[in-house]
Amino acid sequence: MAVFGGTFDPPHNGHLALSLYARELLQIDRIFISVSNNPLKHNRRAADVHRKRMAELLSAEINRTGLCSQVSGWELEKQQESYTVDLLNYVHQLYPHDNLTLLVGEDSFREFPLWKDYEKLFSLCDIVVFRRAETGIHLLPPDALQRKESIATIDFTYGVSSTEIRELVATGQTISRLVPSSVHRYIIEHALYLQPSLSTSTQEPRHRES
């Protein structure tokens, strides 16, 4: 099983491509998508209820090509900062017989030494870092370098970020080619990322079949 955590603010086509690529390349049977409150990302714009719903729309897009994805709001329900080590312990409790693979983008992995109890991750999972093809991973802490057998890197370049998407929406520019169509509709319907007061609304979302 692969574990893919993130703020998903919003999820975009890079998240979709990474998930599909990982499923085929790593031959994983399930992707556990967890919506987080990452303490290293303080600029979340959409409320938790919206981020979880958009992650569910992302999961539905993944499952269009074969059922394998599920979304968890466990980190959000804790109503406190999220840590990967706690998430992996939780997933192990749910699926004690599964081997876990943590999917990590290069930008997130650059903060790896700042993660809570990061050295414990090597006993909980394998780590696959999706890095830009033109870069290398030169940022592993010393103990991680000694345990590189637990870390694999895959060249993966997809030039889009959630920050960029939020900025485009705020300035009235189109994002239709950067996010799944269901996520695009959701952002429009709920007026996300236009103004802080609207983006952080906790109003229950209107569910749409996708």
Looking only at the bridges linking them, the beta strands covering 101-105 and 126-131 are: parallel
**pTM, rounded to two decimals:** 0.85
For residue 171, being part of any structural domain is answered with yes
Quote the radius of gyration of the chain (alpha carbons, Å). 17
Q: What is the pLDDT of residue 106?
A: 85
For residue 204, being part of any structural domain is answered with no
Looking only at the bridges linking them, the beta strands covering 151-155 and 69-72 are: unpaired
Cis-peptide into 141, omega within 30 deg: no
Q: What is the pLDDT of residue 152?
A: 87
DSSP-based three-state secondary structure for 196: helix
Q: Among positive and negative, which fits the CA dihedral 32, 91, 1, 40?
A: positive
For residue 206, being part of any structural domain is answered with no
If one counts the domains in the chain, the total is 1
Q: What per-residue string of b and e applies to 132-160 under the rule 16 or more CB within 10 Å gives b?
A: eeeeeeeebeeebeeeeeebebeebebeb
Q: Output phi, psi for 173, to 5 deg.
A: -95, 155
- Would you write out the chain's pLDDT as a tens digit for each of its 210 residues? 999 999 999 999 999 999 999 999 999 999 999 999 876 665 658 999 999 999 999 999 999 988 899 999 999 998 888 899 999 999 999 999 999 999 999 888 888 888 999 889 999 999 999 987 665 555 555 455 445 557 888 889 888 999 999 999 999 999 999 999 999 999 999 999 995 544 444 445 544 332
For residue 58, being part of any structural domain is answered with yes
Q: What is the pLDDT of residue 201?
A: 46
Q: What is the pLDDT of residue 197?
A: 44
For residue 98, being part of any structural domain is answered with yes
Count of C-beta atoms within a 10 Å radius of residue 200: 14
Q: What is the pLDDT of residue 202?
A: 45
Cβ atoms of residues 194 and 170 within 8 Å: yes
For residue 209, being part of any structural domain is answered with no
For residue 74, being part of any structural domain is answered with yes
Between CA 39 and CA 47, with CA 44 as vertex, the angle to 5 degrees is: 115
For residue 100, being part of any structural domain is answered with yes
Q: Which domain holds residue 53?
A: 2-199
Structure letter (DSSP) for residue 206: P
**Contacts of residue 151, Cβ cutoff 8 Å, sequence gap at least 6:** 126, 127, 128, 129, 140, 144
Per-residue tokens: 137: 């991973």
Between CA 86 and CA 95, with CA 91 as vertex, the angle to 5 degrees is: 150
Q: What is the pLDDT of residue 17?
A: 95
**CATH code of residue 137:** 3.40.50.620
